[in-house]
Amino acid sequence: MYLAKIHITHKASILDPQGEAIKNALHRLDYQDVSNITAGKYFETTLTSDSKEQAEATTRSICESLLANQNMETFLFTVEKVED
Amino acid sequence: MYLAKIHITHKASILDPQGEAIKNALHRLDYQDVSNITAGKYFETTLTSDSKEQAEATTRSICESLLANQNMETFLFTVEKVED
């Protein structure tokens, strides 16, 4: 069994309205030392792939085909072997 | 300047409808080696705190007060010093 940890964040050039809204809310709550915040998605997926290479290939493919909006987002992931 | 990386995920006992929906969609797309997937949130925030302890205290507080729904979610974070 393999465990993939996937981080999906906005591309640097893309406006992050959710992050802006959260920052403004935090400033209204008087958290003045928060200077910037970016909001993204985090997924953990377990895979029954036969090899680490196959688990990595599947993870890359599910990011590209479903989890990440390739126009606006970038993704990073790690894959590690875990006990069944 | 400090950089906090925040992971917010569902408590184990809580149903994760988004994760279930994504898993079903992935199976329809023929990704049969995906056995489970959990969906969460990921934030990166820069802080102008005076110390690492203060940055950690602020990060814990913004998670508890705004970013995480304490009834359904848990949060983990790391704080590291970064160049201004």
Question: What pLDDT sits at residue A62?
Answer: 97
Whose tokens are 């003045």? That residue is A32
Cβ–Cβ below 8 Å for A25 and B1: no
Domains in chain A: boundaries: 2-14+40-81
Other CB atoms within 10 A of residue A74 CB: 16
Answer whether residue A75 shows pLDDT above 90. Answer: yes
Assign B70 a pLDDT band (cuts: 50, 70, 90). very high
Query: Would an 8 Å CB–CB cutoff place B68 in contact with chain A?
Result: no
Other CB atoms within 10 A of residue A24 CB: 11
Amino acid at residue number A44: E
Assign A13 a pLDDT band (cuts: 50, 70, 90). confident
Query: Would an 8 Å CB–CB cutoff place A43 in contact with chain B?
Result: yes
Answer whether residue B14 shows pLDDT above 90. Answer: no
Cβ–Cβ < 8 Å for A2, A55: yes
Q: Which fold has domain A2-14+40-81?
A: Mth169; Chain: A , (3.30.1280)
**Ordered strands of the B34-47 beta sheet:** A73-81, A2-10, A34-47, B34-47, B2-10, B73-81
Q: Which fold has domain B2-81?
A: Mth169; Chain: A , (3.30.1280)
What span, in angstroms and rounded, lies between the C-alpha atoms of A33 and A59? Answer: 36
Of B42, B47, B65, the CB nearest to A40: B42
Q: What is the mean pLDDT of chain B?
A: 95
Answer whether residue A80 shows pLDDT above 90. Answer: yes
